[in-house]
Amino acid sequence: MLGAQVKSGRLNVAARAAVLAYADDVVAHFGQVHQVYNNAGLAYHGEVEKSEFKDIERIMDVDFWGVVNGTKAFLPHVIASGDGHIVNISRLFGLIAVRGQSAYHAAKFAVRGFTEALRQHMLVALRSSPTRIWQCIRRRWRRRRSSRASARAAPAW
């Protein structure tokens, strides 16, 4: 044990009011927030034509809106800390698609787009803010990239 103070709790990330309240509780407990990791995910396997709307909506509510809720709830606190990071996890399925996972892919592609747009906003609108926005897949790729031959082309994103 390194002596770090920990706060844990159960939270439905699709319940926006609960996420907003949790962010306030965390700030009240620690005084400030420097890092947030949004890693919401439910999987659902089913062909689009046979899937119920409610099943697809549930995946979007958790996998996409859970990340948006967590980001929006904590972003003002992370910015206020003067030095922070928000990391949104979209996984490989935010880059590629396979049969039977359309709802999951839709959510993870949406997380990727949301995170990229937020990152651009933070770079332009808050130039003086040291708050950083990361998408996990891109960061890992760059680490691996540095050890490979430079002849490989970088992705456009």
Amino acid at position 130, single letter: P
Torsion of the alpha carbons at 135, 116, 67 and 98, rounded to the nearest 10: -70
Rounded to the nearest 10 degrees, the angle between the axes of helix 16-30 and helix 65-81 is 30
Catalytic, out of 22, 37, 44, 104: 104
Cβ–Cβ under 8 Å, residues 103 and 152: no
CA atoms within 13 A on the CB side of 47: 2
| Annotated catalytic residue 37 | no
Q: Which amino acid is at 7?
A: K
- Residues designated as active site: 104
